[in-house]
Amino acid sequence: MNSAIKTHTDKMDLLPAAGVDLLALLPCPVKVPFEQAFREFIKESQHNLEKFSFRLEGHINHHLSFYDLLEKAQAKTDLPNIMITPGVNRFMGHTFQKKFLGQNIFAREQNYFHRPESLQSNLVDSKGYYFILAINPLVIVVDHTQIGDVPVPSCWADLLLPHYKGQIVMRGQKETFCETVLLSFYKEFQLDGIRRLANNVKLGCHPSEMAKHAGTGKSGWPAISLMPYFFAKTIRNADNVTIIWPEDGVIASPITMMVQNTAIPHLRPVIDFLTGPAMGKLWSNAFFFAPFSEIKHNLPCNRQLKWLGWDFIYSVDAYQLFAQLNSVFREARQNKPKEGAL
């Protein structure tokens, strides 16, 4: 029955809209297990999903092309029925919100999705448009082969201290750095905090590269890495590092889902699966926080999440603010004394 299910594997050179029921841009740690679990669900499903089509992509490979094309979307038919995306992205910017929210296009989560009582209340979008499937926690990793006599940081504010100058590596691709980190530092420390952080950041790279070099004693490698907990747990030289859960909470990067109202009736089984305990366990196995009371988490107990909050995201035009902060951050890094090459 499900042999006719369509998938899309071509390059994202056209807006994935008409005919695509689900588009998921996924973080690296869950791309493969997510696709395996979802294909298994489709294969075993007893529901009528013959015409269901989906596209599961790695976020790092396709996010720029998709979000650029997203700007051209004018109607709900220009968008997939279900969209899953990580981080604070263009879906959370005022341009998208003004164009599509408030037009009764997207389902309000409190009306359609199971929400466990144990979920932290500040993770729930009071307007209901964004449904958090999971939280990717960002931690501080200290490399004891590099830190020397410098004190180990205990909170995010510590990373702004001058003795960490040139000692930090964070997620970055070319000239774009981690939006959740920059927005979190701006919310608490304003532009001064962005500039001070830039002065202390030596380079940006993919978290897998941080995990590869942490604890190896590589000459010139920064002593402090800001990375997702998943990658911190993959560090091979674990005896040489300490994973710090900051006193003020780990920075929370959301994985969110948006669903078009008209998709609810015929895609209800898919939505139930995506928001159910099986997928919750998948997120938890990758060291994400999944908001399901019945799921055992692979995270330290009683740890706070440092979450931006929906009021902040709605009020500041989060995507445009990130673009501005990234520019300030780059400029501050360019104006600081050059660090020696690795």
Instruction: Give residue-wise pLDDT tens across range 144-171.
Output: 999 999 999 999 999 999 999 999 999 9
At 6, the pLDDT band (50, 70, 90 cuts) reads very low
Which of residues 136 and 117 earns the better pLDDT score? 136
Q: What share of the chain is helix, strand, coil (3-state, %, to 5)?
A: 40, 20, 40
One domain, residues 66 and 93:
yes
One domain, residues 278 and 215:
no
pLDDT(5) > 50: no
Q: What is the pLDDT of residue 335?
A: 78
Among all chains, which residue has been given the structure tokens 């941080």?
210
Q: Report CA torsion sign: 41, 252, 297, 295.
A: negative
Percentage of the chain beyond pLDDT 70 is: 84
The Cα 160–Cα 15 span in angstroms is: 41
One domain, residues 201 and 216:
yes
Which of residues 119 and 247 earns the better pLDDT score? 247
pLDDT(109) > 70: no
Write the CATH number for 117. Answer: 3.40.190.10
Q: What is the pLDDT of residue 59?
A: 67
One domain, residues 121 and 230:
no
Q: What is the mean pLDDT of the chain?
A: 85
3-state secondary structure of 243: strand
One domain, residues 305 and 260:
yes
Decide if 340 is inside a domain: no
One domain, residues 142 and 210:
yes
At 63, the pLDDT band (50, 70, 90 cuts) reads low
Which of residues 88 and 4 earns the better pLDDT score? 88
Tokens of residue 121, six digits? 């209340």
**117 alpha carbon, distance to own chain's centre:** 23
Which of residues 158 and 275 earns the better pLDDT score? 158
Q: What is the pLDDT of residue 341?
A: 37
Tokens of residue 290, six digits? 């999944």
Q: What is the pLDDT of residue 231?
A: 97
One domain, residues 94 and 149:
no
Decide if 86 is inside a domain: yes
One domain, residues 115 and 145:
no
**Full domain range(s) for residue 283:** 6-135+251-309
Q: What is the pLDDT of residue 195?
A: 97
**166 alpha carbon, distance to own chain's centre:** 25
25 close to 66: Cβ distance less than 8 angstroms: yes
Instruction: Give residue-wise pLDDT tens across range 196-245.
Output: 999 999 999 999 999 999 999 999 999 999 999 999 999 999 999 999 99
Q: What is the pLDDT of residue 9?
A: 41
At 12, the pLDDT band (50, 70, 90 cuts) reads very low
One domain, residues 118 and 25:
yes
At 102, the pLDDT band (50, 70, 90 cuts) reads confident
One domain, residues 80 and 186:
no
pLDDT(129) > 60: yes
At 115, the pLDDT band (50, 70, 90 cuts) reads very low
Instruction: Give residue-wise pLDDT tens across range 294-330.
Output: 667 777 766 788 999 999 999 999 989 999 999 999 9
Angle at 337 between CA 333 and CA 339, to 5 degrees: 85
| pTM given for the model | 0.88
One domain, residues 75 and 14:
yes
Q: What is the pLDDT of residue 35?
A: 94
Decide if 198 is inside a domain: yes
pLDDT(274) > 80: yes
3-state secondary structure of 269: helix
Which of residues 110 and 47 earns the better pLDDT score? 47
15 close to 28: Cβ distance less than 8 angstroms: no
Q: Name 25's bridge partners.
A: 57
One domain, residues 32 and 109:
yes
Decide if 180 is inside a domain: yes
Q: What is the pLDDT of residue 155?
A: 96
